[in-house]
């Protein structure tokens, strides 16, 4: 994988940051996006280049305006000769999910639409732009980060869970249609992972305790657990895997 290029949305914290560092360790050049913390993004970019001797660049992206991907990829084209991997990872939180994060009877159209835009529409447009470049390069791998919240009940998660189910289905359609271009498309579905996003849940401590209780491994998932799965799916070791969702949940969804 050395010398290839990863494009990932949301690379400054949590799962995205773990993925960025996992790929950089393996010699992959990194193009990652950030929402608002430019200073943090630049710190990560400089650390990646210094520590792993790879090329790294960071770019602003508002995931609620997925059409921005078109200009973003033009900028990436100027910085990198090829795009080999694309991971749709960025999520939204805070005011943007009001009406989308809550009990079923409190769900409202705006919040639900925002979650769909950030989860499904952003995946589609980002993947389309990546696929155009990958086809010229002879192929590539596209991933979406999903969640087992579409398989098991998580309090207040209906808006997110249903959209994760939607993006996993979109992955299957993309895989069927892009396979002839030697582009594989998969999803990585994580159980509760210990990130700032999860800690923002109003019932975080309850979720953490229940996750540890449910997992036969007796621990919470870490961002590095998802990063390792992404690295595998992008590698030649997974060359006959496409249209699938790899569940990384410490065994919690079986109980």
As annotated, the active-site residues are: 157, 164
The two structure tokens encoding residue 40: 């943090």
3-state secondary structure of 86: strand
Q: Please state, in angstroms and rounded to a whole number, the distance separating the CA atoms of residues 92 and 197.
A: 9
Residue 10 region by backbone torsions, left for phi larger than 0, else alpha for psi between -120 and 50, else beta: left
Query: 248: Cβ–Cβ under 8 A, 6 or more apart, which residues?
Result: 188, 189, 190, 191, 221, 225, 226, 229
**Beta-bridge partners for 246:** 188
Q: Please state, in angstroms and rounded to a whole number, the distance separating the CA atoms of residues 146 and 233.
A: 14
Residue 150 belongs to what H/E stretch? none
**Alpha helix stretches (DSSP H) within the chain:** 14-25, 38-52, 68-79, 109-116, 122-137, 158-178, 196-199, 204-214, 223-234
* Residue 249 and residue 148 in contact, taking contact as beta carbons nearer than 8 Å: yes
């Amino acid at each position: 994988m050395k010398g290839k290029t990863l494009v990932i949305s949301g690379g400054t914290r949590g799962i995205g940051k773990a993925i960025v560092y996992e790929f950089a360790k393996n010699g992959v050049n990194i193009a990652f996006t950030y929402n608002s913390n430019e200073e943090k993004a630049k710190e990560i970019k400089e650390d990646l280049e210094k520590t792993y001797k790879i090329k790294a660049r960071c770019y602003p992206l508002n995931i609620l305006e997925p059409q921005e991907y078109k200009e973003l990829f033009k900028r990436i084209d100027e910085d990198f000769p090829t795009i080999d991997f694309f991971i749709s990872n960025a999520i939204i939180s805070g005011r943007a999910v009001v009406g989308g994060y809550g009990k079923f009877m409190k769900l409202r159209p705006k919040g639900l639409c925002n979650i769909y835009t950030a989860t499904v529409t952003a995946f589609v447009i980002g993947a389309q732009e990546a696929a155009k470049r990958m086809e010229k390069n002879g192929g590539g791998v596209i991933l979406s980060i999903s969640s087992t919240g579409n398989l098991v009940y998580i309090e207040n998660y209906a808006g997110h869970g249903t959209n994760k189910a939607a993006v996993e289905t979109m992955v299957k359609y993309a895989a069927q249609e892009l396979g002839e271009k030697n582009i594989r498309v998969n999803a990585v579905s994580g159980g509760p992972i210990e990130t700032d996003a999860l800690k923002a849940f109003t019932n975080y401590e309850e979720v953490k305790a229940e996750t540890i209780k449910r997992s036969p491994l007796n621990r919470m998932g870490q961002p590095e657990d998802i990063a390792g799965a992404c690295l595998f799916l992008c590698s030649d070791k997974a060359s006959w895997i496409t249209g699938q969702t790899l569940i990384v949940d410490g065994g919690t969804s079986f109980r």
